[in-house]
A and B are shown apart, each in its own frame.
Chain A
C-alpha cells in the first residue's frame, strides 16, 4: 500500500542524506514531499535549509494569553465576585495579584507548549512509513510521491546515489 505512495531508502550518514536530497531536488521532487528519519537531529546544513515552520509558537502564545486571563480572573475577578470583608471594608490587595497572574501565565505557557508538541508530533492523516533501524542509528529518506512522478523514477534516482531501497515497517504506534 505504502509502496505506491511512498518510496523509502536507507542512506549512510550525513553525506548520504545530503546526496539523496540533492538527487531528489534534481529529479524535481518538491521539498515538502521528502522526510529524513534519523535517531539524531541533523544540522540544517545537511538538510540544505530550514525546517518547515511549525505551529508550536502559536500554542505557546495562546497559552500565555489564556494563562494571563485566568490569572486576572482568579486574582482580580474573584475580588469583585466574592468580596472579602476585612474590618468592614473590602480587601483590595494588588501585589499578591501579580503573583497569581504570574504563576498562572507560566502555567498556561508550559501546558500549551507541551500540548502543542504532543498534538503536532502525533500528527493526523494516514500512517506514514517507519523503520526500526532508526532506533539503531540508521538514517532513512522517505519520499511521498508527488502526483506527477512515478515511484520507479524516484527509486532509481535515489539508488543511483547510494540509497538502499527498504520496505515500510510501519512500526510507529
Chain B
C-alpha cells in the first residue's frame, strides 16, 4: 500500500480527528468562508488550509480500499463474467444464439452501442463547453466527466465487434489494401463510424490526460515504489514551471475548441447509420441533431448519477456542493425541453406525412406491443424531469436527483431500443415483417457492460485523482487575481523591461 496523503494532509494541529482532514468545526469555518467569500478575498492562510484539506481528502480516498469496495468489485466481476460466458457461447454456437433475425438485424448490441456512445457525450462535451464559457463551477466536475466519456467510449466501441458474426475476424475491418483481397470502401458509412469514434476516443483520452499531468506529479511526490515510478512516467517530468503551465493552458485551449465539433460529429455520424437508410422510422434529416441532443441528455444524467456516487463514496461533499447539483439540474431541465422538441419535430413530420409504414411504426409505439416501453420512455424522459426539476428542493436533493438521473437513462436506453429495433419490424413488404426477442447472451453482455463501466470507474478512483486538484485550487484564487488586476496584463509588460507587477500583488497576496 502506498503512503498517499499520509504525510501531506493538514498539519497535526489541524487534524484532531482520527480520520484526518479538518475537524467538523474547522471544516465548517473554512467552507463557510469559501462559500460566503466568493466575491471577497480569502486570506492566503485560508486558501492554504483549503488546499491541504482537498489534497488530503482526495488522496485518502485513493488510498483506502475497504471491504465494501472489494465486495463491489467482486460483484461487478461476477456480472462481467456472466457476460463473458454469454459472449463465449455466442462465439461457440454462432450469432444464431441471439434474437437477431430478418428483418431485425440490429438488436441489443447496436442499441447498447448507440446508448454508450451517447453517454460518452456529456463528459468531454460538457466539460469543453463549460471550459469555453469559462464557467467557474465546472472545476470539480470536469475530471469525473471526462473519465466517464473515456470509459463509455471504450465500452461502446466493443459492441460493433461483439455484433459481428465472426468476431475473431474483426481486423478485416482495417483497411489494408489488397491484403485479403478486399479494399474497404473509405466512403462507406461504416468507415465514418470507425474514424469518428477513433478520433473521439483519442481526443477524449488526451483531453483527460493533459490536465491530469500536474496532479500526477503531485501523486508522484506523495508515493513510493511502483506507484511512484508509474506516476513519474506519466507526469512527463512535470516540475511546475510557469512555462509548463503556459503550455498546458495553450494545449487545453486547442483541445477545448477542437473537441466540441469532434463530439458533435461522432453522434451525428452514428445517427447517420440510421438516417441514411430507407427504413421508415430511421430515415430522417433531423436525426443528426436529435441524436446529439439525446446523447447530451443521457450523458448529463449519467454524469449526475456518477457525481452523486463519487461525492458520497469519497466524502467530497464540500467540493461537489449542492450548488453544483442545482446547476446541473437546471442544465438537465433545459436539455429535457430541447430533447422533447427534437423528438416532436421528427414525430410530427412522420405523422403528418401520412406514409403508411411510418404510421405503422408510430402505432406500434403508441398503442401496439411496444406501447409500455414507449410510454415508460415518455414518463422517464419528459414527465418526471419536466415536472420536478423546476424545484430547487428537488435539484438539491441527492435522492431525488439520483432517481431522476437514473430514470432519464432508463428512458434514453428505451428510446435507443425503440429506434433501433422496432423500425425495421414493419416495412412495405408485409411478408417481410418480423419481431425480435433478445436472448440471454445479449442480455448478459448488455448487463456486463454496465458492470464494466462501474468497475472501470472504481479502478480509476483508486488510481488517479477524481477531482482536478490544481484547477479547483486555481479557481479559489481567480477571483482575487481578477480583482487585483494581475491576470490580464501580459501585453503591457513585455518581459523584465517593465518589471514584475509587484505593487499590484500586495493587498491580498501576502501570506
Instruction: Decide if B196 touches A103 in the complex (CB within 8 Å).
Output: yes
In the assembly, what is the distance between CA of A75 and CA of B175, in Å? Answer: 12
Size class of the contact patch on chain B:
35 or more
A107, B258: Cα distance in complex, Å: 10
Of B185, B189, B199, B265, the contact of A110 (CB 8 Å cutoff) = B199
Option from A13, A84, A171 in Cβ contact (under 8 Å) with B509:
A13
Do A15 and B233 touch (CB < 8 A)? no
Chain A: CB-nearest residue to B183 = A82
Distance in Å from the Cβ of B504 to the closest Cβ of chain A? 6
Question: Contacting B185 at CB < 8 Å: which of A19, A56, A84, A104?
Answer: A84
B-side contacts of A43, CB under 8 Å: 481, 486-487, 489
Indicate if the CB atoms of A130 and B239 lie closer than 8 Å: yes
> In the complex, which residue of chain A has the Cβ closest to the Cβ of B470?
A40
B255, CB-defined interface residue at 8 Å: yes
Contacting pair B511 A117 (CB below 8 A): no
Q: Which residue of A lies closest to B254 (CB)?
A: A113
Known contacts A39-B470, A56-B251, A113-B255, A18 near B500 by CB under 8 Å: yes
Given that A35-B241, A45-B487 are known contacts, is A22 also in contact with B499, CB under 8 Å in the complex? Answer: yes
B240 in contact with A37 (CB, 8 Å): yes
User: With an 8 A cutoff between CB atoms, is B236 at the interface?
Assistant: yes
Q: Are A109 and B254 in contact (CB under 8 A)?
A: yes
Given A49-B493, A137-B52, the answer on whether A106 and B261 have CB atoms closer than 8 Å is yes
For B486, give the chain A residue with the smallest CB separation. A45
CB distance A110 to B255 under 8 Å?
yes
Instruction: Choose one: A51, A57, A114; the contact of B243 (CB below 8 Å).
Output: A51
What residues of chain B lie closer than 8 Å to A30, measured between beta carbons?
A: 496
Using an 8 Å CB-CB cutoff, how does the interface string of B244-255 with A read, 1 for contact, 0 for none?
A: 111111110011
Within 8 A of A (CB), among B55-113: none
Taken residue by residue from 81 to 110, chain A's Cβ proximity to chain B (1 for < 8 Å, 0 otherwise) reads as: 110100000010100110110111011011
Chain A 2-18 near chain B by CB (<8 Å), digits 1 or 0: 00000000001111111
Which residues of chain A (34-89) have a CB below 8 Å from chain B? 35-52, 54, 56-57, 60, 74-75, 78-79, 81-82, 84
- The answer to the question of B238 belonging to the interface, with a C-beta cut-off of 8 Å to chain A, is yes
Smallest Cβ distance from B57 to chain A, in angstroms? 15
Closest Cβ–Cβ distance, residue A109 to chain B (whole Å): 5
B294 proximal to A (CB < 8 A): no
Complex: how many Å from CA A39 to CA B476? 13
Q: Which residues from 201 to 226 on chain B have a C-beta closer than 8 Å to any C-beta of chain A?
A: 202-203, 206, 209-210, 213-214, 217-218, 220-222
The answer to whether B477 and A40 have CB atoms under 8 Å apart is yes
Residues of A within 8 A of B218 (CB): 39, 135
Chain A residues whose C-beta falls within 8 Å of the C-beta of B486 in the assembled complex: 14, 43-46
Q: How far is the CA of A21 from the CA of B499 in the complex (A)?
A: 8
Q: Chain A, 106-123, contact with B by CB distance < 8 Å: what is the 0/1 string?
A: 110111011011101111
B497: chain A residues within 8 A (beta carbon)? 49
Of B178, B199, B221, B473, which contacts A132 at CB under 8 A? B221
A44 to B493, CA, bound (A): 9
- The distance from the CB of B505 to the nearest CB of chain A, in whole angstroms, is 5
- Asked whether, in the complex, the Cβ of A45 is within 8 Å of the Cβ of B501, the reply is yes
Q: How far is the CA of A39 from the CA of B265 in the complex (A)?
A: 36
A1 is an interface residue with CB less than 8 A from chain B: no
Asked if B237 contacts A123 (CB within 8 A), the reply is: yes
A41 in complex: contacting residue of B196, B249, B490, CB < 8 Å? B249
**Further pairs besides A31-B496, A135-B220, A135-B221: 17, Cβ < 8 Å:** A17-B500, A21-B496, A36-B241, A44-B490, A45-B485, A45-B493, A48-B500, A49-B500, A56-B251, A81-B177, A91-B187, A104-B199, A110-B199, A110-B203, A110-B258, A114-B209, A137-B51
| Other-chain contact of A122, B188, B237, B506 (Cβ < 8 Å) | B237
Shortest Cβ gap from B200 to chain A (Å): 9
Min CB distance A20 to B, Å, is 9
B191 at the interface (CB under 8 A from A): yes
